[in-house]
């Protein structure tokens, strides 16, 4: 699949910008004063660059990569130590810092370089950013013992430039914004992915022109040079060509793909996004539903729920990471379907509880209290969604038998007792 949407370092196309960002990230591997910030739009190739770095380092480089960044200070340190192979879940903040410092000194003594990579860093709270400033000061008499790479969307730049962030900002060694591909790069990008996917060169040593030259300006117009959008459009175009039994992709087929995707030109989408967006806190973005953390009264935190499926669990690949040994790696998920929200336990060890009752699957209502191990969360709809919330039979929705085969998007009523 030449145009798959998931990041894959095998397909990394080194434009001038990507090559420069790659060099800055590699700088942290070979130098003891590395603190690099890489920003870029969603889909610009940041995660692919991280994957490339991870596969290129040798055994003398130890990397902790944090994916889920909606964490308080304790959870942040726990996440780092967990990624480094330690068990930090019962330690307080002072002990966590001591554990990390001891680990870094041990690695330094053995000649190893430790790098912390924080992906989606634009979601970090100011308190966690302050802890990052402290981490940049961990050093021996001669060298720093922890290098940092912060990777995130353009909002990260504004976060680092905010009042009160001067001490952290001044420690940054390199900053780089990963721009979209230029129009002239797009054909080379497409050929590169086709070649990696196994398309053989012809006798002249070039990749067969599956995408006609005339397609490139149209692709650029709708994808804006963003690699992930180029992939999506090209993949859809190949499907359209296959359906029509065409061996090459023409402008007409690209336009059919655009219609299938229901896209408008990229610059129009960016303009709409800019009008919708406003400066926000680290965890703020448009969502009709969210989970409110009830555990930390001095640091109230909210987790917006995205469309589709939001996963919750202990490991870093979850959308919402809950760092505690009582929480399973993949503990539960919340599914949005036709303006309803459903909680489904993923065969967790210690169970999922709604309003004190253990459930396997259930409808969520505004104000429901959800428990995963020690984590206490409240499900909350915004005012407009709450006003339109469907009314379910309370006796049915309070039982674990209510609902669904979510994966098949089939919703049923209460299951009969004799089933």
Residue 213 lies in a domain: yes
Q: Residues with Cβ < 8 Å from 358, sequence gap 6 or more?
A: 351, 352, 400
User: Mean pLDDT across the stretch 59-71?
Assistant: 90
Task: Identify the sign of the CA torsion 25, 31, 32, 35.
Answer: negative
Q: Which of 150, 178, 206 is the last residue of a domain?
A: 178
pLDDT band at 354 (very low <50, low <70, confident <90, very high): very high
Q: Check pLDDT > 60 for residue 388.
A: no
Q: Which of 178, 207, 222 is the last residue of a domain?
A: 178
Q: Report which of 336, 337, 276 is spatially closest to residue 304, judged by C-alpha positions.
A: 336
pLDDT band at 382 (very low <50, low <70, confident <90, very high): confident
Residue 19 sits in the same domain as residue 165: yes
Residue 356 lies in a domain: yes
State the Rg of the chain over Cα.
Answer: 24
Residue 392 lies in a domain: yes
Q: Check pLDDT > 80 for residue 400.
A: no
Residue 383 lies in a domain: yes
Per-residue 3-state assignment (H helix, E strand, C coil) for 131-159? HHHHHHCCECCCCECCEEEEEECCHHHHH
Residue 403 confidence (pLDDT): 37
pLDDT band at 270 (very low <50, low <70, confident <90, very high): low
Residue 414 confidence (pLDDT): 35
pTM given for the model: 0.67
Residue 31 confidence (pLDDT): 86
Burial class (CB in 10 A: 0-12, 13-18, 19+), 253: buried
Residue 132 sits in the same domain as residue 72: yes
Residue 414 lies in a domain: no
Residue 209 confidence (pLDDT): 86
d(CA 276, CA 272): 6
Q: Picking from 59-68, 118-127, 210-219, 270-279, which range would have the lowest pLDDT averaged per residue? A: 270-279
CATH number at residue 320: 2.60.200.20
Q: Which of 178, 197, 215 is the last residue of a domain?
A: 178
Digit-coded pLDDT (tens) for 1-30: 899 888 899 999 999 999 999 999 999 888
Residue 211 confidence (pLDDT): 94
Residue 293 sits in the same domain as residue 359: yes
CATH number at residue 242: 1.10.8.60
Q: Check pLDDT > 50 for residue 411.
A: no
Residue 34 sits in the same domain as residue 127: yes
User: Mean pLDDT across the stretch 339-366?
Assistant: 91
- The percentage of residues in the chain with a pLDDT greater than 90, rounded to a whole number, is 54
Residue 166 sits in the same domain as residue 188: no
Q: How many domains does the chain have?
A: 3
Cα-based distances in Å from 65 to 100, 178, 232, 301: 15, 20, 27, 22
Residue 67 lies in a domain: yes
Residue 263 sits in the same domain as residue 335: no
pLDDT band at 163 (very low <50, low <70, confident <90, very high): confident
Residue 216 sits in the same domain as residue 353: no
Residue 333 sits in the same domain as residue 255: no
Residue 1 lies in a domain: no
Residue 24 lies in a domain: yes
Digit-coded pLDDT (tens) for 25-58: 999 888 887 899 999 999 999 999 999 999 999 9
Residue 201 sits in the same domain as residue 117: no
Residue 96 sits in the same domain as residue 130: yes
Q: Average pLDDT of the chain?
A: 84
Residue 23 sits in the same domain as residue 171: yes
Cα-based distances in Å from 271 to 268, 276, 277, 348: 5, 9, 10, 43
The long-range contacts involving 336-341, CB below 8 angstroms and separated by at least 24 positions, are 336/289, 336/305, 336/306, 336/307, 336/308, 336/309, 336/310, 337/406, 337/409, 337/411, 338/411, 339/385, 339/388, 339/390, 340/390, 340/411, 341/289, 341/305, 341/379
User: Mean pLDDT across the stretch 336-345?
Assistant: 84
d(CA 199, CA 16): 24
Residue 311 sits in the same domain as residue 333: yes
Hey, which bits of 125-272 come out as E strands? Answer: 147-152, 174-178
* Residues spanned by the domain of 341: 289-408
């Amino acid at each position: 699949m030449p145009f798959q949407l998931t990041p894959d370092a095998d397909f990394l196309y080194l434009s001038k910008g990507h090559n420069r960002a790659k060099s800055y990230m590699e700088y942290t591997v070979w130098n003891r004063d590395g603190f690099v910030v890489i920003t870029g739009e969603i889909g610009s190739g940041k995660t692919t660059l991280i994957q490339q770095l991870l596969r290129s380092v040798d055994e003398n480089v130890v990397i902790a990569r944090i994916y889920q960044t909606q964490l308080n200070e304790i959870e942040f340190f726990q996440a780092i130590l967990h990624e480094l192979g330690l068990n930090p879940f019962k330690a307080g903040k002072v002990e966590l810092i001591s554990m990390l410092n001891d680990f870094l000194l041990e690695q330094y003594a053995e000649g190893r370089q430790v790098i912390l990579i924080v992906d989606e860093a634009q979601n970090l709270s100011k308190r966690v950013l302050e802890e990052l400033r402290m981490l940049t000061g961990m050093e021996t008499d001669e060298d720093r013992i922890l290098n940092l790479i912060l990777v995130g969307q353009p909002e990260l730049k504004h976060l680092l430039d905010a009042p009160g962030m001067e001490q952290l900002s001044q420690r940054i060694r390199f900053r780089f914004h990963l721009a979209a591909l230029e129009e002239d790069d797009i054909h080379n990008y497409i050929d590169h992915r086709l070649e990696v996917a196994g398309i053989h060169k012809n006798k002249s040593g070039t990749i067969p022109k599956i995408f006609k030259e005339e397609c490139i300006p149209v692709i650029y117009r709708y994808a804006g040079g963003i690699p992930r959008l180029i992939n999506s459009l090209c993949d859809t175009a190949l499907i359209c060509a296959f359906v029509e039994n065409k061996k090459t992709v023409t402008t007409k087929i690209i336009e059919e793909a655009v219609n299938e995707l229901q896209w408008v030109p990229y610059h129009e989408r960016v303009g709409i996004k800019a009008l919708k967006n406003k400066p926000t806190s680290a965890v703020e973005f448009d969502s009709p539903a969210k989970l409110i953390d009830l555990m930390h009264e001095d640091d109230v935190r909210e987790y917006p729920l995205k469309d589709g499926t939001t996963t919750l669990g202990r490991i870093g690949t979850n959308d919402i990471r809950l760092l505690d040994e009582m929480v399973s790696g993949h503990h539960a998920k919340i599914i949005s379907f036709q303006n309803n929200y459903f909680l489904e336990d993923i065969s967790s060890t210690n169970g999922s509880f709604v309003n004190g009752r253990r459930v396997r699957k259930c409808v969520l209502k505004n104000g429901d209290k959800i428990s995963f191990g020690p984590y206490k969360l409240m499900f909350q709809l915004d005012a407009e969604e709450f006003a339109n919330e469907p009314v379910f039979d309370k006796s049915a929705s309070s039982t674990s038998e209510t609902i669904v085969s979510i994966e098949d998007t089939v919703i049923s009523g209460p299951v009969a007792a004799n089933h």
